[in-house]
Structure 1
């Protein structure tokens, strides 16, 4: 299902955390000079100054694609997750249907490599044969409905149920452009060396999976060309990631009859009925032109090619759950994208899969065993302090009129914070989990999740639901819910430690809280009002001033480059950059209200303000493989860590004062050039 929120971190950095303050030991300082490069002037390269020695001493391990603060935390905690799950598998007293029993059985089946190897591709053989027997376009459409409605695969397009952005009390069916396999449409459309290498790896992956299911090498290679060319046609019709960031542009409501007229090969009322969606007269479509093009492409594609495409959707969706040749083929393809040297150990992959599949069962074990209530209480205080700081900053804005300020403050005060874990846990009632049938467990979970999603239609919006699992080290803002959410997993150093000084906590978790609040006021989130409705609440003059400021911020980030030639996309990363800029400023405002923030007393050789900014910097330190870095430039709405480290402080007067940054220093910006938004 397409997620409708904005999160803090980079893709692939969702980590699992189990013990608050477990990472921090008496041997480790919160701000440790041994991790810094004090030979560098902070005004020349604050990233290197704050973290240079740590970066030098922590190359990317072979099983990783990047290595930074989040990865260290993940690596530490995934072992703790393993301990919890393995304890569940060994609990012979766990009653049938209990949380422990279901978690333990899922993981036991996932780790039963011998049974998985024996099965080979048997679990999907019937699906491939069913597709092979299709005779006509009606059969293609019916199979599409089946794959979508079982959560098995999403051929041709994306489908999900979510709130209507202009009528947020309604849950409505929604369609999104899709049907492609590579991470971004540009991988199909570009012909530079990096893109061609990935295209070749993609075709090799397709070829391998088809040969593993009985096709000859020649036929498998032909299938790869068919699939690539078909998906390239879909990619050509897709909007870019930057264009998709506009919530007005992607809000297009159709009656089913009207939409069907624009897509002659897709009659949406009977198709949706086959997808278990009934009683709905209208649907939201993010890119109508894509669906018109999709219909034409399908019409002009031979049925035999469409069958190959559907078989591919089954193969790519299933590979990770099949025997080792399939898993190895998938990893070889992922290597071309990410540069990862060796496969992540199976126990680690299956621990993460358990969290991703039945996370609110695993989450209950986590909360029961490890989560500290005082951490939640402390964060509640921090949230309210950040809200007060944000209120002060909005009230003092010199570029916004009073009428718009009033509505901005109303939205701020309407934020709903969720901290730690859900008030109401999912029970996964009806989800059958067996300790002997790994692939079937995955299928059952897919079906259960899809049914849970479509069953939201016609019911009140469930405001207790969470978009992340409890052990996740991340946070998010939902514009339609107007809520900020902090899973328990993020309540740990370097973000938060109840024993740390305020400078460290406000530079870490305080900036996270402010970041999520700022998403409500970034270039996209600012288009939603206090009720979460996509509705303008700005005066024209204020919006013009706001856009001028965001344009300047985008231009700043456009100048940053990685791998010598790849520029950060300031428009793609705009929302996250505004989140950082607003969040760190609000966190600093709140920090200055604390006792420590009002002194100049040094700790471990650093002033409170220096510790605040160094805490921010150490969150983003890290190394990344070139292949992964190149992929993220195309696909990730977050800027690279080194530019998140410096991109906000260079716009804050307090940073210049804290580190005595002067004209002539490489990062220096004149006061009149410093970008101030929130």
Structure 2
């Protein structure tokens, strides 16, 4: 990606700092130094008076070295862009292949990956940095949360202990949860079983409670200053879009075979397991069919159906809601009949009531215990995980499992995101980068506010509300300062216990801890400056939260006969179009204040043309066919190619900057703009 040098940043730093900046960039390019930001910055103000005559020769040499490093860094940046490009493609015909054709041609997807893109390349570097921090030996004075994280990682890496335990941890859990009928044949007693009691046991063990009804705590859509309970449709074992196609679908068939394989490994007779689990799968397909498709979940107003628990009990009487909520929320909090709950899909609850009554208990139990087994596989021995990988091969096209250290680093990063963020920030992050990002986001916000003043489809009342929202939007850039505060980290993780031993039990302990924290939020007002929710610094992503009106920025073509669902991707498509417009206007404002940028070596393009090239480079991606199909079927984002072609062909400014004649693919006569 094209890197801009900000004169403001440049002027407020000493000569040595500037020199080190370029020198570090040079080292990063030449030697692939990963810990560049850990190099100390020396301030001249801390030195005594320097003899200019004595140091004259070295000063000249330093200046020459800085210049050489600067030129080398520019050459490396230019080289990266040139390697990604395919200059034989006309930019007005297909800008994605113009910007990313070289990347598509030369990139080989590693056997343990399903795709490679700009983000994954950065993530790979981040992953290595995290591994180095996590694997450092704990010191006696390390904060307790850091030790918990490292214990969890060691439990994951201790494959000797995992192999010794075999499937015993899962067998114990299944027994405590009432048993998996498919493993017990005639010894499972139906009369003693209740789906509600089993969900209560799942809660206590640390497993998901959302296999029938999804319960979560989040800020109220209509009043973002308080939290509220949301009731929603079930979390399924695989995408609704696949399940709704039934067993005729290749992926659903693979899912069914995987279910039977896991049951057989755990001791079931294969023929009996196939017979029993087919009924369980048919039940899950029914769950999928009564769930709202993603296209019908875009209207937040339609999903906002508040009612008291008393009203809930009258409308859906077969479920004892007071008992259900109070058992699941215990021991953190409790509710009364006056508690307001938002039901996001009332039609689902109505149909679920019927389904739970009509379905035999054995089928319900087999389904729940299958979900427990499936969620446990990743924490068990190699034999059962190999079977999981065979399923992933069909779904995603992977040909090789990732290294154990990668798996464990990813597990730690997702489950201990706050502590991982604290580790990363303390060792690697440069505060100047945070300041630059804050400045960038501020400029983009300013341009978006200007856009709101000019669009003609908004009435004045709506415009005023939109302006107020844009001006009050909270930004969370890079990391909260609390990540540097040991006392606050210790307080947050005070109730978490992770000891050496079972990897599965460690994961369940952590899951239970996180669920308790979520439930605690119900009785607390929403604090938009609350740091825990915005402490995921060691990720490569950015997103907007509509319920909290906040934006967060972290540190770091189709030939398959597939169609992108324009309804499902509509919101993100609008965001892509508006985002690139605001960024372009912010860049132009930067140029107006600071002057045009110098050309990079070998790239005979204007600054504005480089803006578009840089933006397109962000989305250079290559997928395995299976992964691309899965992505198109299940994701709310369009494939990367269309995140370039769509927004840029809708921008008159792009066509002007590249002199695209009207009627070419990148300058169509009919353009779409919301913002």
Which TM-score applies when normalising by structure 2? 0.82
Please, which of 123, 132, 135 is the counterpart of residue 74 of structure 1?
123
Q: Which residue of 1 aligns with 2:84?
A: 35
Please, which of 270, 287, 303 is the counterpart of residue 234 of structure 1?
287
Cα distance, 1:622–1:448 mapped onto 2, change above 3 Å: same
- Rounded to whole Å, the distance in 2 between the matches of 1:565 and 1:269 is 50
- Rounded to whole Å, the distance in 2 between the matches of 1:600 and 1:663 is 28
What is the Cα deviation at residue 639 of structure 1?
Answer: 0.5
- Rounded to whole Å, the distance in 1 between the matches of 2:349 and 2:321 is 11
Q: Are residue 486 (structure 1) and residue 553 (structure 2) matched?
A: yes
Q: Which one is further off, 138-147 or 409-418?
A: 138-147
Contact kept, 8 Å, 2:652 with 2:667, in 1: the verdict is no
Cα distance, 1:162–1:138 mapped onto 2, change above 3 Å: farther
Please, which of 439, 444, 456 is the counterpart of residue 521 of structure 2?
456
Q: Which residue of 2 aligns with 1:657?
A: 656
Cα distance, 1:240–1:267 mapped onto 2, change above 3 Å: same
What is the Cα deviation at residue 380 of structure 1?
Answer: 1.2
Q: Which residue of 2 aligns with 1:172?
A: 228
Q: Which residue of 1 aligns with 2:44?
A: none
Please, which of 581, 585, 607 is the counterpart of residue 589 of structure 1?
585
Please give the residue correspondences for 1:627-666 in structure 2 after superposition, counting only pairs within 5 Å: 627-666=626-665
- Rounded to whole Å, the distance in 1 between the matches of 2:431 and 2:324 is 48
Q: Which residue of 2 aligns with 1:251?
A: 304
- Rounded to whole Å, the distance in 2 between the matches of 1:563 and 1:228 is 32
Q: Which one is further off, 161-170 or 114-123?
A: 161-170
Please give the residue correspondences for 1:333-482 in structure 2 after superposition, counting only pairs within 5 Å: 333-425=391-483, 426=489, 427-463=492-528, 464=530, 465-466=532-533, 469-482=536-549
**Tell me, which stretches of 5 or more residues in structure 2 are unaligned?**
1-33, 40-71, 180-187, 484-488
Secondary structure of 1:78 counterpart: helix
Q: Are residue 330 (structure 1) and residue 388 (structure 2) matched?
A: yes
- Rounded to whole Å, the distance in 2 between the matches of 1:383 and 1:21 is 25
**Tell me, which stretches of 5 or more residues in structure 1 are unaligned?**
1-16, 491-560
- Rounded to whole Å, the distance in 2 between the matches of 1:423 and 1:139 is 47
What is the Cα deviation at residue 382 of structure 1?
Answer: 1.0
Contact kept, 8 Å, 1:379 with 1:419, in 2: the verdict is yes
Q: Which residue of 2 aligns with 1:283?
A: 341
What is the Cα deviation at residue 224 of structure 1?
Answer: 2.3
- Rounded to whole Å, the distance in 2 between the matches of 1:169 and 1:666 is 46
Please, which of 30, 47, 54 is the counterpart of residue 96 of structure 2?
47
- Rounded to whole Å, the distance in 1 between the matches of 2:634 and 2:172 is 35
Q: Are residue 190 (structure 1) and residue 245 (structure 2) matched?
A: yes
- Between the two proteins, the alignment pairs up a number of residues equal to 582
Q: Which residue of 1 aligns with 2:324?
A: 271
Please give the residue correspondences for 1:436-585 in structure 2 after superposition, counting only pairs within 5 Å: 436-463=501-528, 464=530, 465-466=532-533, 469-487=536-554, 489-490=555-556, 562-585=558-581
- Rounded to whole Å, the distance in 2 between the matches of 1:272 and 1:53 is 55
What is the Cα deviation at residue 98 of structure 1?
Answer: 2.5
What is the Cα deviation at residue 242 of structure 1?
Answer: 1.4
- Rounded to whole Å, the distance in 2 between the matches of 1:137 and 1:169 is 44
What is the Cα deviation at residue 76 of structure 1?
Answer: 2.1
Contact kept, 8 Å, 2:325 with 2:335, in 1: the verdict is no
Q: Which one is further off, 602-611 or 448-457?
A: 602-611
- Rounded to whole Å, the distance in 2 between the matches of 1:292 and 1:284 is 15
- Rounded to whole Å, the distance in 1 between the matches of 2:245 and 2:368 is 25
- Rounded to whole Å, the distance in 2 between the matches of 1:423 and 1:577 is 33
Coordinate RMSD, CA, aligned: 2.3
Cα distance, 1:108–1:271 mapped onto 2, change above 3 Å: same
- Rounded to whole Å, the distance in 1 between the matches of 2:668 and 2:207 is 52
Q: Considering only CA atoms, is the larger Rg found in Structure 1 or Structure 2? A: 2
Q: Which residue of 2 aligns with 1:553?
A: none
- Rounded to whole Å, the distance in 1 between the matches of 2:476 and 2:243 is 40
Please, which of 150, 167, 175 is the counterpart of residue 121 of structure 1?
167
Which TM-score applies when normalising by structure 1? 0.82
The Cα offsets for residues 400-425 of structure 1, whole Å up to 9 and x where unpaired, read as: 33333222211111011111113445
Secondary structure of 1:353 counterpart: helix
Cα distance, 1:455–1:62 mapped onto 2, change above 3 Å: same
- Rounded to whole Å, the distance in 2 between the matches of 1:468 and 1:242 is 31
Cα distance, 1:146–1:67 mapped onto 2, change above 3 Å: same
- Rounded to whole Å, the distance in 2 between the matches of 1:227 and 1:28 is 56
Secondary structure of 1:28 counterpart: helix
Q: Are residue 676 (structure 1) and residue 673 (structure 2) matched?
A: yes
Please, which of 146, 162, 171 is the counterpart of residue 218 of structure 2?
162
